[in-house]
Structure 1
Amino acid sequence: MTPEEIENAVTAGMPRAVEDLTRLVSIPSVAFPGWPEEPVRAAAALTEELLRSAGLPEVRQVPVEGSFPAVFAEAPAPAGAPTVLLYAHYDVQPPGDAGLWRTPAFTPTLVDGCLYGRGAADDKSGLISHVLALRAFQGRFPVGVKVIVEGQEEYAGERLERFVEHNPDLVRADAIIVADTGNPAVGDPAVTTSLRGLAAFTVEVRTLEEALHSGSFGGAAPDALAALIRVLASLHDDNGDIRVPGLPKGSFLGAGPSEEDFRATAGVLDGVALPGSGSLADRLWASYSITVTGLDVPTVRDAVNAVQAVARARVTVRVPPGGDPATAADDVVEHLRRAAPWGARVEITDRVLGSGYLADTGGRARSALNRAMKRAFGRAPRDIGAGGSIPLVATFGKLFPAAEILLFGAEDEGASIHAPNERVDLEELRRTATTEALFLADYAEF
């Protein structure tokens, strides 16, 4: 197929792709503990159906120990052609507070060329970009194709990583496309070349056998909630830099966003300063960060006049490429224990880890991607980092050191992934699928 034929085929396939994405987003495939399993399995079944519709002759669900099934598909390579592995995931983040959504999280809604709904960008757009790109070839693929779509990426852990380590030949390829990142802005093409790793855990602070009346005991009884607040506040200094020993600042070689653009994208309120020091690229992509992502304490609505006996927080540490998530978790936990006032008891549970990744930016696959992206977007891509974590990428890099790993996708910084009002720009989805299809054709010719 010529590049023009590929572009026309992708464009012609967009209406069907939007219908498929709408079906996917309507399934609340939250693979977190406590959420129903049936929708996750329904998303796996639909993923299997979509990959079959893309012309792949072998499609099946593969069990993953301790997790939901992955969906695997394969088409053999023509003689002498390389093989490309395509990755995405069909599970999504919980929707959070329904009152913060302008449209229902699992009722896909089209507004001004964007599809809104949980998972519309992260990462059901990744799955659909693969399907749309593959459909352009009508089953006559120029390269060997393998696809693996994960079912529990969002709930941190390394379940699929262990599966891949035990089944390397299943996913072995010459190049790997990970469609779980995106561009800094719509229409601004970029390839993600670094990913931070992850360490997360729950910290519990306990001071009393049970809660006490604040009028009778307040002022003398040790308050677990006050202790937890002090412990968490000790993680950063007044400037917002991390105070934990052993977590140094890093440096990112490429350019990051301007402060003006970052403030606008993040929705930072006027007069509120950005925490930390160093460039934004350094802070976002090459350094450690620590975030409190949840609290188990009485709500304001349910507050009573009591000194609390126990309080919990979920803490997430982002680890720069080259850093060790286990060591970072140990350092943060040790700091929290030392910071606990009044001899309060500190317990750590539910610890999960994921490794970061730093890509090699040379090679024939990256060259082919640069050409494909320039044609699809009208300009060449630039290298960026990502503060988020995709632990499987590090596993791919370890198992297949000769394979080129390419990270790009239809998400963008304004897509509100992991937040209310998540959306994917449909024109960005078309450009991303066009890039992938052009890449597959170009890479076959090398």
Structure 2
Amino acid sequence: MNGAPDDGGWKEVHRRYVALERTWSMADAPEPVARQFFRRIVHGHRSKAAIEREFHEFGLQPPSPAVLEEAFCLQRLLCPTDRDRPGGRHPDDPLEDVYAAALSMLPHGFWVESPERDHLYRGQRDARWPTVPALFRRDDVDAALGQLAQAVTRVRECLPAVSDAQALAVAQHYSRELGVATWLLDMTYDPRVALFFASDGGVGGEVGVVSCLVRKTWDRLSAAGSNRLGRLRVIDVPGVLRIEQQRASFLDTSHPVLFDQYVADTVWFRQQTGLRFEDPDADFPVTAASIYPSLDPVLTALIGTPPSSSGVLRSTPAGDAREPLHGDDYWEIAQSWCRREGLLVDAYHEDSLRVVCDVHARLQEQPDQFALPERSLARLQDAVDLVIQAQRNGRFITAQEALCWSLACLPPPRRVVLQDIIAACAHARDSC
């Protein structure tokens, strides 16, 4: 077998991989050891002779020859030595299709089901779509909030036991049927569900995307919820069949621009018309029938409940995407990171850090010039960390020196643009 999938494509390779992984066992080895051997074979470049020596050295009996041969067939498909494959970790380098994307996630313990919501996933059919809640994409946000209040009242009539937050989440989940928009983002704790939604209805020529938000990283960037990012608030709604089938959670978070600047771990793939990710043989199947169950008591109740003529929202969005963020907003975030490190920025270093924050705000105004990772909160944190280090060492640092990592990552033409922005922001501060 050569390094390209057969006529079944990556979907067939995925089916074979999942089938082998679920049945893989070694008679005299505990499950963690057996799984380690599986991954070393399938996701590595080790030869059959080398693996057989390892079995012998550990005194282990290998699987049957047929099972072992299937593992090496998959190795040749996933880790070919004679050709380069897309990596899928950059929008300009998407994987061949959604099943290739799923296979790229499997060797990493990162893309896993997370019932504790330590990892949350989101799939989008078109990577060009902004991660902005639907409410803020409405022309008349105030009118949309009025419609949402009526819909939430309708939800409470059907589900009187839900909390205010859960009623809002139900309205988000059935937003298409109810004709409303909320400030919540749809998420799931199962990456396979995110793959389904990222490919459902995909059209050739589009690039789909699946992203993973890590609670630990969010907590670090939000300084444990003390800055403008706020705490990661996840709303779950047990007892609603379609929500449970989609393993859905709903994210109520900060300003949408800040959510984008978090820059989640992401996999991009090329859409193939008519190809949708499904995993029907899993313990928890992911199929169109399971994601959209034909019998949906809550939807039936909502459709059968007359629309409310009025309603009151008992919560409001944490951040309004209509309000742009300025240097002072990022200054507050930077200060929270300094406080977390037990440092109060002195006047000697404050000017440089304020210029850094002004620059970061300016970068958000030029998304066509600077890619999201180049203007992310991680890049801002790199600069803040250098300012903290300089203050602790009793050394002055300029804004340009603090932004050295951002400058180093750019090609020369855009590096010049960033240097001009730094100079302009520094001049503006000097003129204040």
TM-score (norm 2): 0.23
TM-score (norm 1): 0.22
Tell me: higher relative CO, structure 1 or 2? Use CA pairs within 8 A at least 6 residues apart.
1
Higher strand share: 1
